[in-house]
Amino acid sequence: MDESSEKLLKEQSSERPGEPPPIEGSVSTTIDYSLRLRNTPPPSAGQLVAVAVAAAVYTILSWLSASLLSSGIPVVSFLFVAIGFGIPFALWFGGWAFVIAYIGNFVGAGLLVGTPLLVALPFGTVDLIQLGLPMILYRLLAKRFGVSPIGKDVFTVRGFIFFLLCAVLPNNIIGGL
C-alpha cells in the first residue's frame, strides 16, 4: 500500500466511534436494559401503541410470507420475511417481543391463511423461540461483551459480530431444525 491509502484508512478508522454518542439529557441513553423486573410503572399509552404497531407489522409480514411465499406445503414459507423485522422488534421491545411474536404468528401465519383455530393456537408459539432467544441473549450477555443491550452498536465490528452470534445464527439454526 502506498502512503496515501494508509493515511486514508487511518483517518476513516479514527472517525468511526465504537458506539453512537449519547444524547445529552435523554432518558433513553441512561436506561439499564436487562431481564430484571423492577418497580416500574405500567406501560404508557405510547408504549402500548408502539407494541401494537409492531405486532400489526409483524402480523402483516407473517401473512404475506405464509401466503405469497409458500413453499407448496400449506403455511410453510421458503422465505419468512417477517423475522427480519421481528428480531429488531425483539431487541427494542424486550419482553413485549413474546406478545408480538405470538400475535403475529397466530393471526398472520395462522388464522389469516386459513388454518383452523385449534391448530393456529399452538402454531403461534413457533416464533417465541426465534424472537425470544435473541432478546434473552442480548439482555443477558451484551454488557459483558461491551455492546448495547438493544443493538445500537450493530454497525461496529464488535456489535455486528455479537449480533451474528446472538441474534442471527442460534435462532435460525433452531428454526431450521
Residue with cell 441474534: 167
How large is the average pLDDT for residues 28-44?
Answer: 64
pLDDT tens readout for residues 96-137: 888 998 998 899 888 888 888 898 888 788 888 888 888 888
Burial degree of 158 (CB within 10 A; 0-12, 13-18, 19+):
middle
| Residues pairing with 98 in the sheet | none
Confirm if 132 and 174 have CB atoms less than 8 A apart.
no
Whether the pLDDT of residue 166 is over 70: the answer is yes
pLDDT tens readout for residues 90-103: 888 888 888 998 99
Whether the pLDDT of residue 62 is over 70: the answer is yes
Amino acid at 113: V
Lowest mean pLDDT: which of 5-14, 29-38, 86-95, 151-160?
Answer: 5-14
- φ, ψ (nearest 5 deg) of residue 152: -65, -25
Give me the pLDDT at residue 98, please. Answer: 87
- The CA angle 139-85-106, to the nearest 5 degrees, is 95
pLDDT tens readout for residues 148-165: 888 888 888 888 999 999
pLDDT band for position 56 (cuts 50, 70, 90): very high
Give me the pLDDT at residue 146, please. Answer: 85
pLDDT band for position 10 (cuts 50, 70, 90): low
pTM value surpassing 0.85 = no
Give me the pLDDT at residue 37, please. Answer: 61
Burial degree of 40 (CB within 10 A; 0-12, 13-18, 19+):
exposed
Sequence spans of domains, the chain: 45-175
